[in-house]
A = this chain, B = another copy of it.
Amino acid sequence: MDTIQSDNYPIFFENSIDELANFVKQGRYSRFFILTDENTAQHCLPLVKSKIEDQDNFDIIEINAGEESKDIDFCIGIWKMLIDFGADRKSLLINLGGGVISDLGGFAASTFKRGIDFVHVPTTLLSQVDASVGGKTGIDIDSIKNIIGTFTQPKAVFIELGFLDTLPAKQILSGLAEMLKHGLIQDANYWNQLKNSDLSKPSAELVHRSVAIKNKITVEDPHEKGIRKALNFGHTIGHAVETYSLINDKDHLSHGEAIAIGMICESYLAHKKTGLPAEELKEITDTLNNLYPRYTIHESSFDTLFEYMKKDKKNQSGNINCTLLTNIGQCNIDNICTEAELCESLLYYINL
């Protein structure tokens, strides 16, 4: 698997933890810090540590697992630990974990002393194919997702597929949603390839292909002025459902599970508004509905969902904006959707 050259930084796919070890041994950094959560500390940190045994200029920062940690309070905790550990401008932060770790660590690093270097070692499928590429960092406030953040590129990304061995099936499904999205918005062949693959453990080739798509789009439009909005497909409704679940469910939806619901709803909107053919709507709906567990949405929660959609960063002038497919493999950005339309699309999902 070739290294992908992104906007000034490499994305490694082979011997990635060796590459990481080389990176920190080059001596460009005064100290480095490894940000982990309880799960990656258990499952991923040992391999990393074994490769940097000869280094003594680092500390570990461990946080609780879960989206609840992607919050300003945890961010402040990281900043304070960096202060206490004596981090300076030549320090490096290594984000070892899923999208929570890379978003939170990326934000903390990009603002610490007005920005220190960081790299991502994504350990979930979602963070490998999505969160670790493209330079978005972010944290939540009052459960409003990614409301605070920066656009800052990592210095490198190290993708180690072996880390996925310990990842629960629910988390594989979560990352898979973004891979399916990549096919739907950009590459019908890839969508077909995915449909015909064993998706319980995506191959290195599929991961590489997804990263290539995400990277191409984000390098072209780093600040989301245009084409990058394609990646928001499924996310206007999906984010709202995710926020809702996060607040209301004990065993809440993963990001990808919520996005899968969003993609079904928004494909329905696409059928109504941007000409997505009925048979393609059916193909998308059936594929996603088979792969993902059903989630119960009550009509009584629609108002709350709209409130979340309105607070979505993607909006302008109070309008709710969606990226909609025109065909499988092609999409159209900046489609304003009314409450009535959004409501109808949620009913479409509910009544499946």
Q: Spell out A's residues near B (CB within 8 Å).
A: 30, 72, 76, 79-80, 83, 86, 88-90, 107, 110-115, 136-138, 141-142, 144, 146-151, 310-311, 313-318
Complex interface: chain B residues within 8 A of A110 (CB): 150
A116 to chain B, nearest CB (A): 10
Are A150 and B115 closer than 8 Å at their CB atoms? yes
Asked whether A90 and B316 contact (CB < 8 A) given A114-B138, A144-B83, the answer is yes
Q: Could you tell me if A30 and B317 are in contact, using CB atoms closer than 8 angstroms?
A: yes
Contacts of A76 in B (CB 8 A): 72, 141
Interface contact A83-B150, CB-CB below 8 Å = no
- Which of B88, B114, B316 makes the CB contact (< 8 A) with A150? B114
Instruction: Find out whether the CB atom of A141 lies under 8 angstroms from the CB atom of B83.
Output: yes
**A125 to nearest B CB, angstroms?**
24
- Are the CB atoms of A111 and B149 closer together than 8 Å? yes
For A112, the chain B residues whose CB sits under 8 A away are: 147-148
Q: Report B-chain residues with C-beta under 8 Å of the C-beta of A316.
A: 30, 88-90
Of the residues B88, B107, B115, contact of A315 by C-beta under 8 Å: B88
Q: Which residue of B lies closest to A144 (CB)?
A: B83
Question: Are B317 and A111 in contact, CB atoms less than 8 angstroms apart?
Answer: no
- A115-B147 Cα distance, complex, nearest whole Å: 10
Given contact pairs A83-B141, A88-B316, A114-B313, enumerate 12 new A-B contacts (beta carbons under 8 Å): A83-B142, A83-B144, A86-B310, A88-B315, A89-B315, A110-B150, A112-B147, A113-B149, A114-B137, A114-B146, A114-B150, A115-B150
- A315 partner residues in chain B, CB cutoff 8 A: 88-89
Question: In the bound complex, what is the Cα–Cα distance between A314 and B89 (angstroms)?
Answer: 8
Considering the complex of A and B, which 4 residue pairs feature the smallest CB-CB distances, nearest first? A113-B313, A114-B149, A30-B317, A111-B148
Which of the listed residues A79, A148, A316 has the most CB atoms from chain B within 10 Å of its own CB?
A: A148
Write out the residue numbers on chain B whose beta carbons fall within 8 Å of the beta carbon of A114: 136-138, 146, 149-151, 313
- Contact indicator A88/B151 (Cβ below 8 Å): no
- A90-B316, A90-B317 are known contacts. Are A80 and B142 too (CB-CB below 8 A)? yes
Cβ-neighbour of A311 out of B83, B90, B311 (below 8 A)? B83
Which of B86, B146, B310 interacts with A318 by CB under 8 Å?
B86
- In-complex Cβ contact of A317 among B79, B88, B142, B149 (8 A): B88
Chain B residues positioned under 8 Å from A146 (CB to CB) = 114
Residue in contact with A79 in the complex, picked from B90, B111, B148, CB distance below 8 Å:
B148
Given the interface pairs A111-B111, A114-B136, A138-B114, the reply to whether A147 lies near B317 with Cβ below 8 Å is no
The smallest beta-carbon distance between A232 and chain B, in angstroms, is 13
Residues of B near A148 (CB, < 8 A) are 79, 111-113
Given A114-B150, A148-B111, A89 contacting B141 (CB threshold 8 A): no
CB neighbours of A107 from chain B (8 A): 111
Q: A80 to nearest B CB, angstroms?
A: 7
Among residues of B, the one whose C-beta sits closest to the C-beta of A141 is: B79
Most B CB contacts (10 A, CB to CB) among A88, A107, A114, A141 go to A114
Q: What's the Cα separation between A90 and B137 when bound, in Å?
A: 19
In the bound complex, how far is the Cα of B112 from the Cα of A141, in angstroms? Answer: 11
Report A314 CB to chain B, min CB distance, Å.
8
Closest to A111 in B: B148
Q: Determine how close the nearest CB of chain B comes to the CB of A83; give it in whole angstroms.
A: 6
